[in-house]
Amino acid sequence: MSVLMKGIDVANAMKEELTKETELLKRGGVMPCLAIIRAGSREEDLSYERGAKKRMEAVGIKCQVRELPWDITQREFEEAFREVNDNPSVHGILMFRPLPKHLDEEPVRKMIHPAKDMDCMSDVNIAKVFAGDETGYAPCTAEAVMKMLKFYGIDLKGKNTTVVGRSMVVGKPLSMMLLKENATVTICHTRTVDLPKICRSADILIAAAGKAKMITADMVGEGAVVADVGINVDEEGNLCGDVDFERAKKKASYISPVPRGVGSITTSVLAEHVIRAAKNLH
């Protein structure tokens, strides 16, 4: 029988500490504040935004949304972004990506104050993750995986850890964070030869490919720890991860579900970042 790694349990364990921290800040006259910048109304953005607002409220963080039209011009977008970026009462910024295709993200990535960059857009924060410097802000999802593994007492030191996916949002930064904890990390991608074999040999397998149920049970080693970052829709229209959960859970020692796994921790990590930013900025 495998242990189910439930995101909600990790998030609940973080909640008490986060609430205490915001209370302390408020007593010192600081209202921690997150600004969300959203262009248009993509359903996945709105859904994440609802979750983020709820989480911020639950721990006492103010959350404001700057909603911009999908067809906004580059100049207008940059102006709006600059306003939020320079607002001293805003401690952290989360901008939904990708931006509409006609907008160039680069100037915005360069503009954001690294101290307010809650989801690792800026080069400064990316470099810190790669350097193993924890004073920056790692991507919330990558950090959520680390929180989950820590909460469930998974020892990473020297373990064969395979990450499937090498994006700058999840796979690469997560691999660096695992390496910092002394895991022996293998990063896989679409050109990897014999992915099943590499996955099977992993003590810890992390799926972040964005392909529904591509990690089949035969790719999971007996007793492996399996964390699933993927968010996909299966043939029946249901949310599912990258792992064939029902079959893989029979082999794994620990496994995270989708939904209610890693995705349930990301907004708590976001809240933790905002609190740290508010502390640092004051």
From 109-117, 122-130, 168-176, 244-252, give the range in contact with ligand NDP by CB under 6 A.
168-176
Contacting ligand NDP within 202-241 (CB under 6 A): 208-211, 214, 229-232
In the bound complex, what is the minimum distance in angstroms from residue 75's beta carbon to ligand NDP?
A: 28
Handedness of CA 111, 115, 119, 125 (dihedral sign): positive
Contacting ligand NDP within 263-282 (CB under 6 A): 263, 266
Select from 136, 171, 221, 257 the one that contacts ligand NDP (CB under 6 A): 171
- 54-83 burial by CB neighbour count: b if 16+ within 10 A, else e? ebbeebbbbbeebebeeebeeeebbebbee
The residue behind tokens 């796994």 is: 261
Collapsing DSSP to helix, strand or coil, 190 comes out as coil
SS3 content of the chain, % helix, strand, coil (to 5): 45, 15, 40
Provide the 10 A C-beta neighbour count for residue 166. 18
**How many Å apart are CA 177 and CA 241, to the nearest integer?**
22
Q: Which of 126, 86, 121 is nearest to 105 (CA)?
A: 121
Select from 61, 177, 183, 188 the one that contacts ligand NDP (CB under 6 A): 188
Does 200 sit near ligand NDP (CB under 6 A)? no
From 54-62, 84-92, 96-104, 169-177, give the range in contact with ligand NDP by CB under 6 A.
169-177
Show the site string, 82-121: x = touches ligand NDP by CB under 6 A, - = not: ----------------------------------------
Interaction site with ligand NDP (CB under 6 A) = 141, 164-167, 169-171, 188-192, 195, 208-211, 214, 229-232, 262-263, 266
